[in-house]
Structure 1
Amino acid sequence: MPEPSDTSTVSRVASVLQVLGSRPGREGLSGAEIARIVGRERSQISRMLKSLCAAGFVEQDPDTRAYRLGWQLYVLGRKAGDQLLLNAGSAVLRAMVRETGETALLSVLDGNKSLTLLREQPDRTIQAAATTRQPWPLHIAASGRALMLDMSDEEVRDLISADIPRTDVGPGAKTSVAEVLDTLHRERQTACCIAIDELEAGHMSIAAPVRD
């Protein structure tokens, strides 16, 4: 979310969409709540929401009057990103699921986070939950470290320093930049990253970089 000093229209719109996008499911927020969270005048946010509703990017529940993301954003989202990567990745993930019987993910670097774009899951009752479109700190997931395997130590420090330490992680999560770098140095030898109890207790993931 942009700093309060950032007054550009684009940044204000982005702030509103990010706040609405952080709500679980289809749960909405009132205009007053949105204004409070983004730190703007309620009248200013009301005008912005009206324009966003007209464009289909936001919709208002006729009963509760709460705002939520609109379907037009879903339409745009389906066209976002590297479509060649997504199309090729789907077939590869399905093949991996057939061979391993485990959930397979495709993640990319998004700022200083690991963002999962695709997910394929096996047809069984018990399996690890995996959320797409939810960015995770790079150091606490195998996929995140795989994205940093080819980076210099200085680049890694710049990316992860703001997210260390964290309390909302598993007991196996790295707690310092030095520990992350030490782990990466070992994982570079095998070009494979393994995370156990890092994202949360009982969760294990294995990842490798896709270079071509």
Structure 2
Amino acid sequence: MASGAERVAELLLAFGVGGAGNDHGVSDLARAVGRERSQVSRMLKALERGGLVEQDPQTKRYRLGWTLLVLASSAGDTALLRAARPALRGIVARTGEVALLSVQRGNRSFTVLREESTQSLRAGGWVGRSSPMHCTASGRALLFDSDDELVEALTEEDLRMPISGPAAPRTLDELLERLHAERFMGYAMASEEVEIGLTSVGVPIRDHTGELTAVINISGPTSRLIGRIDESVRRLRVAATAIENALKQPYGKKAGSPARLGD
């Protein structure tokens, strides 16, 4: 059974569904977290008193509050987020697909930044979503520097209880074979692995020391993306290089603009 803190965290993360900054109704949030509407309503009232969420007096819908946003501004790697935002916008402008930035959190790929697609039919994780590492492009790209023993330790739980799509690796040997090939190519691709109809491509990002620190990826419907893998990889590599160059700049210097990400 989830603790009170876990229920609060789950509810706050539900605000990331559909894109950051969206307003949500109580019923929508209750469905997202799988709880009774009355229970979610009480939790929201408590969070509102603490300034973590705000309710629109006209629509009665909730959004994240300024107190939480101020706290979030000092969390994580702000230099990485600042450098990645224009790169993600450039990718979306050129491909029309969802662009995401993910980091490793424990044995999961964790989405920390998302730039929305302009397409009516779109797919991809939301900010705050954790995903298995064995069957996602971002997860496998995050494993590029891990030896086989560490890969096994990070993925054995998910491989034992597969809840992924039909094309996902089902055994450690299958995962390692796929990972070794992707490591050689320099990018990871997961098609029909997380769910039917979804394809994503991910490229690693390294800091000034060469350490793998994040992954930038494109995600979209397989019908649109599967024939554009080479193009997607090329654009992701250009974007990753732009982010890496921005991270090498002295602290406080403005990161590059989307116009410098290449055509």
Matched, 1:175 2:175: no
Cα deviation for residue 77 of structure 1 reads 2.8
Contact 1:170–1:198 (CA<8 Å) still a contact in 2?
yes
1:3-152 equivalence runs, <5 A: 14-21=5-12, 27=29, 55-57=50-52, 71=65, 72-152=67-147
Cα distance in 1 for residues equivalent to 2:159 and 2:68: 32
Cα deviation for residue 177 of structure 1 reads 1.9
Cα distance in 1 for residues equivalent to 2:122 and 2:64: 31
Cα 1:69–1:178, aligned 2, differ >3 Å: closer, same or farther? Answer: farther
Report SS of the residue matched to 1:139.
Answer: coil
Identity fraction in percent: 38
> Which amino acid is the alignment partner of residue 183 of structure 1?
R
Report SS of the residue matched to 1:199.
Answer: coil
Cα 1:15–1:58, aligned 2, differ >3 Å: closer, same or farther? Answer: farther
Cα 1:119–1:53, aligned 2, differ >3 Å: closer, same or farther? Answer: closer
Root-mean-square deviation (CA, aligned residues, Å) is: 3.4
Tell which has more relative contact order, 1 or 2 (C-alpha 8 A, sep 6+).
Answer: 2
Gaps of at least 5 residues in structure 1 are 3-11, 35-45, 61-67
Cα deviation for residue 206 of structure 1 reads 0.7
> Which amino acid is the alignment partner of residue 20 of structure 1?
L
Cα deviation for residue 100 of structure 1 reads 2.8
Cα deviation for residue 106 of structure 1 reads 0.7
Cα distance in 2 for residues equivalent to 1:81 and 1:22: 16
Cα deviation for residue 19 of structure 1 reads 4.5
Cα deviation for residue 54 of structure 1 reads 5.4
Cα deviation for residue 97 of structure 1 reads 2.1
Contact 2:97–2:119 (CA<8 Å) still a contact in 1?
no
Cα 1:114–1:82, aligned 2, differ >3 Å: closer, same or farther? Answer: same
What is the TM-score when the length of structure 2 is the normalising length? Answer: 0.58
Contact 1:166–1:175 (CA<8 Å) still a contact in 2?
no
Cα deviation for residue 78 of structure 1 reads 4.0
Contact 2:97–2:118 (CA<8 Å) still a contact in 1?
no
Matched, 1:186 2:175: no
Cα distance in 1 for residues equivalent to 2:107 and 2:5: 18
Pairs aligned (count)? 186
Cα distance in 2 for residues equivalent to 1:173 and 1:17: 32
